Structure 1
Amino acid sequence: MPKRSKVRDPSVPGVWPGGAAPGLFRDLCENANDLIQSVSPEGRLLYVNRAWRETLGFGESEIAGLDVIDVVHPDSRDHCRAALREVMSGKTLGDLEFAFRTKDGRRVEVSGSARSWFENGQPLATSGIFRQVTAEKHLKEERDRLFELSLDLLCVAGTDGYFKQVNPAFERVLGYSREELLSRSFLDFVHPDDRARTLEAIAVLAQGHPVVDFKNRYRARDGSYHWLAWRSAPLSGTHVVYAVARDFTEERQAQEVIVRQAEALARSNADLEQFVYAASHDLRAPLRTIGQLADWIEEQVPGEGTEKIREYLALLRQRVGRMETLIGDLLEYHRAEHAATAPTRVDTTSLVRNLATLLAPPDEFRIHAEPGLPVFEAPRAPLELVLRNLISNAIKHHDRRDGRVSVSGRRLDGFYEFVVADDGPGIPRDHQERIFGMFQQLRPRDRLEGSGIGLALVRKIVVRHGGAIRVVSDGRGAAFHFTWPAVPPSAADDEHDPGR
């Protein structure tokens, strides 16, 4: 039998059942932040407090003519009618949730409790206290929506080895139903080789510590395995774990393909390296023999009337020399792709002067290092090879014995720009890009010995080290501009990441 309270005059609107509420009690109701109301058995509002009126937008004089269902949102009316019947039967509802509708039509979510007042076994009125939960409910809806729509696998699990809740991503990725996932230990889905590590991770979580960047494989319904990357955290004082997993199977497979391709490429490069050196040796050996035979033949030729034979022998030695140069340049071109040289301190003024001596141009020819050439950290060998080829080409292609080559340099953002300029015959505009191709020469080989690889090699080295090269020539003279990193790549990385 429900507890019954005596109410003398429940029909008076605007007052608490029992007539005018005592002053202190009424003040408590009026100043409460919760929404307080009293409703007659017929559903008519008998009393509402200030918070109720302000929240729903009604004046005190408007309450008398309102039925409680009038201020309930249409979506909640059936639920409220059923709840009102339960309360009028004597039941106390302690977890009642529904939505009011304000005077201007807005929806207000509330949660609270309601009970009834009886006299002589008959219900006189209900009293209800409600707290506005609109923001909380929206937040919960957003949280639930995030859980449902997340592309990652979200779950609540226990350290007992069972899932308590899983989002739809689990079903989508693994192919099992939610019921299957919750009814079996999640270790049943883990790859046998990963179970021991997974148990170790669970033990860490059971001790209250989070587990991040943990990876294992889960078996899907079709028998395939998916790689999952987990981040998990336990709820303090409980055996509950919250976890998120990302399926990185495709990334893992792509990574494995890249590793296999890199290994295959390394083997191929090693085979190519061996072939290049073997071919270089095997081609040079017969060339040297041919050159020696030409020398022996010339020694046996009588002195008179054999000028033509000597001319042919000289031509033969010249062709042998060209072939040796070609093989050497091809080998150098191959080395440029794979060679790695540690940076060292390079004084480019000294480097240019040493090259001028090494290349031994005609006595009248001048190679000049302009003031301001930098001293900086760089891999010396490739930079020297670039400068040597450019200066050598300028000497070789010059049309006068008293020519001049100048080398200058300046800082340009994160690079040094070097310019190797000569006063030779120049390079026609329509050839200024073609000269950087393999086996390209502007003059016939009978007039100028060379492999046609030098500038292709120069471009390859410059680009490999992060620079660029171009030629400027308009009429006489040509200037080759190329850029070179002012700071070696590894040192530049350290500057941007001082914590390394």
Structure 2
Amino acid sequence: MSGFWKTLFGAGQFIPHGHCYLWKPSLVWLHLTSDSLIALAYYSIPLTLFYLVKKRQDLPFNWIFLLFCAFIVACGTTHLMAVWTLWHSTYWLSGMIKAATAGVSVLTAIELIPIVPKALALPSPAQLEQANQQLQIEITERLKIEEQLKQYQNQLEQRVAERTAQLEASNAHIQELLCSEQQAREQAEAAKAEIQRYTERLTLALEVAKMGSWDWNLENNEVYWSRYHELIFGYEPGTSQRNYTDWRQRVHPEDLAKVERIIAEAIRDHKDYDCEYRLLLPDGQVRWVNGVGRLSYSGEGYPNQMIGVVIDITDRRLAEETLRESEETARRQLIEIEAIYTSAPIGLCVLDLQYRYIRVNESLAQINGISVSEHLGRTVREILPELGEFQEPIFEQVIQSGQPVLNVEVHGVTPAQPEIERDWIVNYYPLKAPEGQVQAINITAQEITERKIAEKELKKRTQELTCLNATLAQTMTLLKQQNQELDQFAYVVSHDLKAPLRAIAHLSEWIEEDLEIELTPTTRNQFDLLRRRVYRLEALINGLLDYSRVGRSEVSVQTVVVEDLLKDIIDSLAPPDTFRIDIASGMPTLKTKRILLSQIFSNLISNAIKHHHRPDGRVKILVQERKDFYEFAVSDDGPGISSQYHQKIFQIFQTLKSRDEQENTGIGLSIVKKIVESEGGEIWLDSEAEQGATFRFTWPKKDLST
């Protein structure tokens, strides 16, 4: 339905009728003046006819006059639409009004045909007047004769003999008068029947016109309503005798004061009553009516009666409201379209068939460096010589084919910046008349100079990136070769270093066995210290190898139940029976690198056991879920670590106690830190001296390599 209204009140691709007159002022004013005067004359004629019908309530077939009024108003409206379409191309609305005019015209012609014989058969007012005058004369004569009869009766006894002949003559004359009276009575009955038929026709006409009649006695406040009046006011028809309260109950509360004020003013000022107001029916329905009435006066000049009609105008008011809303919507849309056209950030213009500018927006004027007024009436070639020559074949293609040409890249300069070459994306659309022929060309131009520059720069950067990728590929190949060589070197070094170390350890044991009797306690302690140093160096070599492999070796991703993983680690570490390790509930299940996570927990738990100062220590393993990761914590109640060493302990080879006091390579926590950071997490320490230590680290919920 919304599509129908948009089509009816929309302009579409049509152009105003003024374009057909080439907007020549003389020709436009000729049509404007002619159509306006015709419309004015057409509107004045229905007013005259309506006034005639209103004044002459006794006119038969007065509805045909109202139909003529509708026909003439419709004709006048078509002329007003001719003025409207000079500037507004709402041709569908104009066509619908013409169609309505045609319907009313045909209906008037059809209804007029059967009325002509009936109208010819009606007695003329002159004939009725003559009959009334003759009847009045005869009645007057009868009254005179009756008076004479009374006189005759008084003198009858005295003049019986003398007036016998005259009495017979008088009787004959009386007989003639009685015949005349009978004829007059018959004529009066016929006139009464005609009046009755006229009343019935008037009632029918009022109902057809959706009008109800009323007669209000101002002295006793009684009101007579016609049947249709009762239907309009929502009463069951059949009770014609009503009162002022019946009317008042149906008037909308918001309109009652206004209507009563207008009625009071009409009675006070002795003028006609005319008011449009709403009715509120018992079912909640709201109905619009127009009440019209005229006063009648007593012999002393006081108003004692008001007679009028009430018209149901609900459909008209709804149509007017719909029309008003549609006109407001159309006006608002036109304003919006005009605002968009004026303020659009892209260039917009319309060319006629000679490629002359007939409309230009401010954006295009700024692009060209020429004001809007200087564009109008000049061709594209005159404003932009090079660009105009380039685009003229496109203009010709659009006019000949009637099809748009889209996304044309135009390169050149404009008077605004003649020293700078610029680029635009231009679209060309044909503007067609209702008959289909192209009448103008609509053009949109969007500047893409910066985009073209960016594309050139992007192309340049792409080439640079390609070269860089090639260099990076070579570097990666070389790095892979170097990693392989480094792995080979690490293996060789570890093998070549660990073999002599093992030999030294074995030799020290053999020497100690050979010299067992001769060795002093001091010498035995030195042999033991030698072997410990050898074992420490071997552990250091193994730690260095592990540290170097972090992040360089491929580790498979597995589904890991963290609680089960922790139980396996604790079991492998075999803490003392007096040592307690608690795993908090809610440990997650991850799809991650099991070996790396196991290495982290194993280092942290073993450190908590190894560096604890009591055999009955306690370790708690906790977890907290964050948005993209889990935060794990390994907390103990050991001696704690002073804040000044919090960063030092994560450095390679750094220990808090002498290696002779406690065997430690100083690589474990550095390996843990490197693993955590390589997987996108963080690790830190919360601890104070003598208050235990809590190592916290974050681990992604999803493995980053997947």
TM-score (norm: length of structure 1): 0.54
Aligned match of 2:339: none
Q: Say whether 1:477 aligns with 2:692.
A: yes
Letter in 2 for 1:312: Q
1:393 and 1:106, CA in 2 relative to 1: closer, same or farther beyond 3 A?
same
1:53-452 matches, cutoff 5 A: 95=354, 97=356, 106-110=373-377, 148-149=421-422, 248-303=462-517, 306-452=520-666
- Which of residues 666, 673, 676 is equivalent to 1:462? 676
Kindly indicate whether the alpha-carbon contact (under 8 Å) linking 1:417 and 1:484 is maintained by their aligned counterparts in 2: yes
| Structure 2 CA distance for aligned equivalents of residues 341 and 321 of structure 1 | 29
Q: Distance in 1 between matches of 2:523 and 2:18?
A: 123
Q: Which residue of 1 aligns with 2:17?
A: 31
Distance 1:360 1:151, change over 3 A: farther
Q: Distance in 1 between matches of 2:612 and 2:675?
A: 24
**Partners of 1:378 and 1:488 within 8 A in 2:** yes
SS in 1 for 2:657: coil
- Kept after mapping to 2: 8 A contact 1:337/1:461: yes
* Secondary structure at 1:341 match in 2: coil
Matched to 1:369, the amino acid is I
Amino acid at match of 2:22: I
**CA offset at residue 275 of structure 1?**
1.1
Structure with bigger gyration radius: 2
SS at match of 2:661: coil
* Secondary structure of 1:442's aligned partner: coil
- State percent identity of aligned pairs: 35
Q: Distance in 1 between matches of 2:585 and 2:449?
A: 71
Deviation at 1:303, TM superposition (A): 3.0
- Kept in 1, the 8 Å contact 2:512–2:524? The answer is yes
Tell me the residue number matched to 2:41.
none
Q: Structure 1 residues 471 and 172 mapped into 2: Cα distance closer, same or farther (>3 Å)?
A: closer
Q: 1:383 to 1:32 in 2, by over 3 A?
A: same
Q: CA deviation at 1:458?
A: 0.2
The amino acid of 1:458's aligned partner reads V
**Which structure has the highest strand share of the two?**
1
Change (3 A) 1:340 1:35: farther
- For the Cα contact (< 8 Å) 1:386–1:461, is it kept in 2? yes
Conserved? CA contact 2:505–2:534, under 8 Å: yes
1:122 corresponds to which residue?
A: none
Q: Distance in 2 between matches of 1:273 and 1:481?
A: 32
- Counterpart of 1:265, as a letter, is L
- Deviation, 1:252, is 1.6
Q: CA 1:350 to 1:105, structure 2 compared with 1: closer, same or farther past 3 Å?
A: closer
**In the alignment, is the contact (CA less than 8 A) between 1:389 and 1:455 conserved in 2?**
yes
SS at match of 1:361: coil
For the Cα contact (< 8 Å) 2:648–2:654, is it kept in 1? yes
The answer to which structure, 1 or 2, has the higher relative contact order (CA under 8 A, 6+ apart) is 1
Distance 1:296 1:417 in 2: 51
> Could you tell me how far 1:329 is from its partner in structure 2?
0.6
Post-superposition offset of 1:30: 9.1
Q: Please tell me the residue identity of whatever aligns with 2:695.
A: F
Deviation at residue 375 of structure 1 after TM alignment: 2.6
Counterparts of 2:16 and 2:547, CA distance in 1 = 92
Distance 2:457 2:453 in 1: 14
Q: 1:31 and 1:454, CA in 2 relative to 1: closer, same or farther beyond 3 A?
A: same
Name whichever of 401-410 and 361-370 sits farther off.
361-370
Aligned length: 312
Q: Is the 8 A contact 2:21 2:27 kept in 1?
A: no
Q: Is the 8 A contact 1:346 1:376 kept in 2?
A: yes
Secondary structure of the corresponding residue to residue 367 of structure 1: strand
Query: What is the Cα deviation at residue 281 of structure 1?
Result: 1.1
Instruction: Name whichever of 336-345 and 293-302 sits farther off.
Output: 336-345
After superposition, the Cα gap between the structure-2 partners of 1:99 and 1:107, relative to the gap in structure 1 and judged at 3 Å, is farther
Structure 1 residue aligned with 2:276: none
| CA distance 1:98–1:30, shift in 2 (3 Å) | closer
- Matched residues in 2 for 1:449 and 1:344: separation? 34
The letter of the residue matching 2:628 is: G
Q: Which amino acid aligns with 2:422?
A: L
Query: Which residue identity is paired with 1:95?
Result: Q
Q: Secondary structure at the match of 1:334?
A: helix
Q: Which amino acid aligns with 1:309?
A: T
Give, in whole Å, the separation in 1 of the partners of 2:474 and 2:375.
61
In 2: Cα distance, 1:36 partner to 1:323 partner? 104
CA contact (8 A) 1:95 1:111 kept: no
1:64-90 superposed Cα distances (whole Å, 9 cap, x missing partner):
xxxxxxxxxxxxxxxxxxxxxxxxxxx
Shift of 1:417: 1.4
Cα distance, 1:483 vs. partner?
1.1
Local SS of the residue matching 2:354: strand
Paired residues of 2:21 and 2:28 also in contact (CA < 8 A) = yes
Residue 362 of structure 1: CA displacement? Answer: 3.1
Give the deviation of 1:140 after TM superposition: 9.0
Give the unaligned 5+ runs of structure 2: 1-14, 33-83, 89-351, 361-370, 380-403, 415-419, 426-447
Q: Please list the CA deviations of residues 188-247 of structure 1 after superposition, one character each: whole Å capped at 9, or x if unmatched.
A: xxxxxxxxxxxxxxxxxxxxxxxxxxxxxxxxxxxxxxx999xxxxxxxxxxxxxxx877
Deviations 1:115-135 (A, max 9, x none): xxxxxxxxxxxxxxxxxxxxx
CA distance in 2, matches of 1:339, 1:429: 34
Q: Given residue 354 of structure 2, which amino acid in structure 1 is its aligned partner?
A: D
User: Are 2:667 and 1:453 equivalent residues in the alignment?
Assistant: yes
Q: Provide the C-alpha distance between the structure 2 equivalents of 1:371 and 1:450, rounded to a whole number of angstroms.
A: 32
The verdict on how the C-alpha distance between 1:257 and 1:150 changes in structure 2, with shifts beyond 3 A counting, is farther
Q: Which runs of 5+ in 1 are unaligned?
A: 1-28, 39-44, 56-92, 113-135, 153-166, 174-226, 230-244, 492-500
- Write the deviation string for residues 149-173 of structure 1: whole angstroms up to 9, x where unpaired: 3599xxxxxxxxxxxxxx999x999
- Aligned equivalents of 1:410 and 1:490: distance in 2? 23
For residues 624 and 453 of structure 2, what CA distance do their matches in structure 1 show?
60
Q: Is the 8 A contact 1:429 1:473 kept in 2?
A: yes
Q: Give deviations 1:352-404, integer Å, cap 9, x for gaps.
A: 22222222333322223222222322211000000111111112211122222
